[in-house]
Amino acid sequence: MPARPFRGRACALLVSTMIIALLALAPADTTTAVTDSAKEDGHEGVIVAFGNSLTQGFILPEAEAYPAQLERRLRSEGYAHRVVNSGINGETSSGALSRVNWILRLKPDIVILETGANDGFRGIAPERIEANISEIVRILKENRVTVVLAGMQMLSNLGPEYTAAFRNIYPNVARRHGVILVPFFLEGVAGEPSLNLPDGIHPTSGGYGIVVRNIWPHVVEAIEQRRKTSRPKTDP
């Protein structure tokens, strides 16, 4: 089923509250500290969740945000991967681009890239957002990082032309660089009051459980890609 535009109940929630929640916050780096020992014994690889407050887990305990929930599911299903939460409140795609080299210092095998929503709420041109995201992906791939790109959508009250152009950013980038695409990161969560905090934008712990379900097959695909490329070649 194709993802539906982010509309309906979500539009009924106060836009002013949403802007305060997503834009007025001073960016604060809450990334879990990772050193050269990140790939400690027993870990097959490192997955970095790279994004804004939707990744960081706005006001929730770190254990309830999606990166921690994803790591628990991975371990429960036999995948020995560490998932690092590198979400920053209020970050735009330009901000994400400015810190991509820092992300590389975490030595990720896989990056789940979720960015662009704050740009959309600011009304930044979709072409600019796409260029930023494309450059982030290019740099990650150039450094042999497998990328899972989280697709996002905008509120329909920004107008049909802007909404459509924004939605197309993510499949465009995924096709251009040949990366894995999550069609809509917040599928089944956006616009559902019971799955979001009172601001109507940021998921609750239960909402993040659905986010993990959304991204799960794509993360597993990325892991399997890494395994294939890391296997030693055998003589014919």
pLDDT band at 178 (very low <50, low <70, confident <90, very high): very high
Is 177 considered catalytic here?
no
pLDDT digit string, tens, across residues 57-71 = 999 999 999 999 999
pLDDT in tens, 161-173: 999 999 999 999 9
In-domain check, residue 186: yes
The pLDDT-based confidence of 231 (bands split at 50, 70, 90) is low
- Give the per-residue pLDDT at 157: 82
Residue 156, pLDDT score:
83
Domain around 80: 9-20+60-217
On whether residue 36 sits in a domain, the answer given is no
- Residue 31: inside a domain: no
Residue of 86, 119, 202, 218 with catalytic role: 202
User: Does the CA dihedral 15-20-23-28 come out positive or negative?
Assistant: negative
| CATH number of the domain within which 101 lies | 3.40.50.1110
Average pLDDT over residues 205-233: 91
Give a yes or no: residue 222 inside a domain. Answer: no
Answer yes or no: 81 catalytic: no
User: In which band, very low, low, confident or very high, does the pLDDT at 20 lie, cut at 50, 70 and 90?
Assistant: very low
Q: If you average pLDDT over every residue of the chain, what do you get?
A: 86
- At 180-202, the pLDDT tens digits run 999 999 999 999 999 999 999 99
Per-residue pLDDT at 27 exceeds 70: no
Select from 46, 53, 55, 102 the least CA-distant residue to 79: 46
Residues 6 or more apart whose Cβ sits within 8 Å of residue 236: none
Q: Give the pLDDT confidence score for residue 13 in this predicted structure.
A: 40
In a domain, 155, yes or no: yes
What is each CA distance from 73 to 80, 105, 138, in whole angstroms? 10, 25, 29
Q: Would you state the pLDDT for residue 113? A: 98
Asked if 112 and 150 touch (Cβ cutoff 8 Å), the reply is yes
CA atoms of 137 and 57, how far apart (whole Å) = 23
pTM given for the model: 0.85
> Residue 41: its pLDDT value, please?
54
Q: Which one of the listed residues 53, 81, 86, 218 is annotated catalytic?
A: 53
Residue 15: name the closest of 143, 126, 158, 134 by CA: 158
Contacts of 181 (CB under 8 A, 6+ apart): 148, 149, 151, 170, 171, 174, 218
Q: Considering 86, 199, 205, 218, which one is annotated as catalytic? A: 199
53 is catalytic: yes
Answer yes or no: is 164 within a domain.
Answer: yes
Task: Return d(Cα 138, Cα 90) in angstroms, integer.
Answer: 23
Confidence at residue 11, expressed as pLDDT on a 0 to 100 scale:
42
Domain count, the chain: 1
Model confidence at 43, in pLDDT bands (50, 70, 90)?
Answer: confident
Whether 47 is covered by a domain: the verdict is no
